[in-house]
């Protein structure tokens, strides 16, 4: 049978393939991904592909079409069923798979879905995704063949491996978990039967409608239910997941949020005890406080580009044992496998909390205080957005500014720092600033606005609530 398929141009993203179900993403797209990705794996000398899916309503149908496409290319497919994305990653490692695909819409609205991939044990992203689109469009795939399908439940093995790294002893913490109706639901229920302590689970059922709240723990509004419960039951901590449980949210005993960089401070101090002077990676959106605290703890902080695939690749290159993003992706490679896993990160966080001689809130309160804007995203044409960054960078260099160009521009001043970068996944520019005082933060916002106006853009709306940090 002759195969050719053209994807909707908006669905091929930098880090994954993603779209609106029934509009820009359909079962025939899933089949084409399976057929083409498997061809790439086979041409690379592999054959074994692991496939899983999240709890979205559209995921079972997309997964079935994906499997059908991969088998039609001659791949030997292992289906691990419905569960969190990190369980799929774990399956990929333990089965020594040549490729892996997760059907997941991550933290997007319920009508979205998508595909995250691994190829030869590494993230599959950027030019590789573009190449998949080109091969599919050209019908450039291996001849029709008949692969095999095996279905395996790896959840118990995954949970056993998670518990192997529990290091909190027998102290019985009281923990509130907001599963957010995510794909972790069934795995979390089994895990908590083994984890010491008292555990209260909110929104434990896997439900692709996400009836309680949007599954994104980086948005404070989505943590309100968790915060209320932590305060009500006087818990030691609260944990939240996004839709496929590869991103974590954390709330302390006072019901205050620890953001991604603050979580990383907590974890870095612990990891550096056994890996002194190790490289700890964080993305360009992280607070300067994080980089300073890693240095104080004897580590080598490394600022890197935003994007989970980019961070994972940099970790492998630098042999970093720990990395993280403001978005709540936390990556361990000290005892774990270098991929982002919110369930594993929760085990490690709670192990630290159990060993602390103070409440978690005391750790947060001891960190230097800063005032920051939320992440400001504003529309900018896909072609223009990168040009704007080039123009701003050129002006800053001419001015002799203290600027990092790792990912966009991040500028250090006496008042703090500000960031302007182009999104890799949307037609937007992203701005953020962190000041040492209210007046300092206003000066940083003005600096961003001036640069944008010089490039012919309106200044962004900074009216969102500033956050103490």
pLDDT 10s digits, 369-379: 999 998 888 99
pLDDT of residue 467: 59
What's the pLDDT tens digit per position in 37-53?
999 999 999 999 999 99
Between CA 456 and CA 89 the distance in angstroms is 44
- Where, residue-wise, is CATH 3.40.120.10 in the chain? 17-153, 157-366
Of 106, 136, 182, 372, catalytic:
106
**Cβ–Cβ < 8 Å for 419, 430:** yes
Helix-strand-coil split of the chain, %, nearest 5: 40, 25, 40
CB count within 10 Å of CB 329 equals 24
pLDDT profile of the chain (469 residues), mean per 10: 92 93 97 98 98 98 98 98 98 97 94 97 95 98 97 98 95 97 98 97 97 94 98 98 97 97 98 98 96 98 93 95 96 96 98 97 96 90 93 96 96 96 88 95 96 93 66
455 is catalytic: no
pLDDT, residue 464, reads 62
Output b/e per residue, 357-389; b: 16+ Cβ within 10 A: eeebbebbeebeebbbbeebeeebeeeebbebb
pLDDT at residue 138, as a whole number: 98
The C-alpha atoms of residue 73 and residue 132 are separated, in whole angstroms, by 14
Q: Please tell us whether the domain made up of 371-468 is placed in CATH 3.30.310.50.
A: yes
* DSSP structure class, residue 153: -
Q: CATH code for 157-366?
A: 3.40.120.10
Q: Which CATH number fits domain 17-153: 3.40.50.150, 3.40.50.2300, 3.40.120.10, 3.30.70.100?
A: 3.40.120.10
Q: Pairing between strand 174-178 and 198-202? A: parallel
Task: Please give the model's pTM, rounded to 2 decimal places.
Answer: 0.95
Number of H helices, E strands in the chain: 14, 23
| 3-state secondary structure at position 57 | coil
Q: Which pLDDT score, from 0 to 100, does residue 466 have?
A: 58
Cα separations in angstroms, 101 against 28, 62, 333, 437: 16, 12, 21, 46
């Amino acid at each position: 049978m002759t195969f050719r398929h053209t994807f909707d141009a908006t669905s091929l993203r930098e880090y994954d393939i993603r779209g609106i179900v029934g509009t820009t993403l359909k079962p025939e797209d899933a089949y084409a991904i399976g057929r083409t990705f498997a061809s790439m794996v086979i041409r690379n000398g592999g054959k074994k592909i692991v496939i899983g899916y999240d709890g979205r309503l559209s995921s079972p149908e997309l997964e079935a079409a994906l499997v059908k496409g991969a088998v039609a290319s001659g791949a030997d497919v292992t289906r691990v069923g419905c569960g969190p994305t990190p369980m799929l990653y774990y399956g990929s490692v333990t089965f020594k798979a040549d490729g892996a695909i997760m059907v997941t819409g991550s933290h997007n609205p319920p009508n979205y879905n998508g595909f995250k991939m691994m190829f030869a044990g590494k993230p599959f992203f950027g030019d590789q995704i573009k190449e998949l689109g080109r091969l599919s469009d050209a019908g450039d795939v291996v001849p029709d063949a008949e692969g095999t399908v095996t279905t395996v439940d790896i959840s118990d093995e995954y949970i056993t491996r998670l518990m192997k790294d529990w290091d909190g002893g027998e102290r019985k913490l009281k923990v509130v978990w907001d599963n957010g109706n995510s794909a972790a639901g069934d795995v979390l229920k089994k895990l908590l039967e083994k984890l010491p302590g008292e555990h209260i689970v909110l929104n434990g059922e896997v439900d692709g409608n996400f009836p309680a709240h949007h599954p994104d723990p980086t948005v404070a509004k989505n943590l309100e239910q968790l915060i209320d419960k932590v305060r009500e039951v006087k818990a030691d901590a609260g944990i939240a997941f996004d839709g496929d449980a590869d991103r974590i949210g954390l709330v302390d005993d006072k019901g205050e949020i620890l953001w991604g960089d603050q979580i990383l401070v907590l974890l870095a101090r612990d990891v550096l005890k056994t890996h002194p002077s190790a490289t700890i990676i964080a993305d360009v959106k992280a607070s300067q406080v994080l980089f300073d605290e890693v240095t104080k703890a004897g580590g080598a902080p490394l600022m890197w580009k935003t994007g989970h695939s980019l961070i994972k690749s940099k970790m492998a290159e630098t042999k970093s044992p720990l990395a993280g993003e403001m978005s709540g992706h936390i990556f361990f490679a000290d005892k774990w496998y270098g991929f982002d896993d919110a369930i594993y990160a929760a085990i490690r966080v709670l192990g630290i909390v159990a060993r602390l001689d103070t409440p978690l809130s005391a750790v947060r309160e001891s960190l230097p205080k800063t005032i920051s804007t939320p992440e400001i995203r504003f529309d900018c044409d896909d072609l223009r957005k990168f040009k704007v960054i080039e123009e701003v960078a050129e002006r800053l260099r001419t001015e002799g500014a203290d600027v990092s160009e790792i990912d966009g521009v991040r500028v250090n001043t006496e008042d703090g720092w500000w960031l302007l970068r182009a999104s890799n996944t949307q037609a937007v520019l992203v701005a953020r600033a962190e000041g040492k005082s209210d007046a300092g933060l206003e000066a940083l916002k003005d600096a961003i606005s001036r640069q944008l106006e010089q490039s012919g853009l309106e200044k962004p709306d900074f009216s969102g609530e500033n956050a103490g940090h």
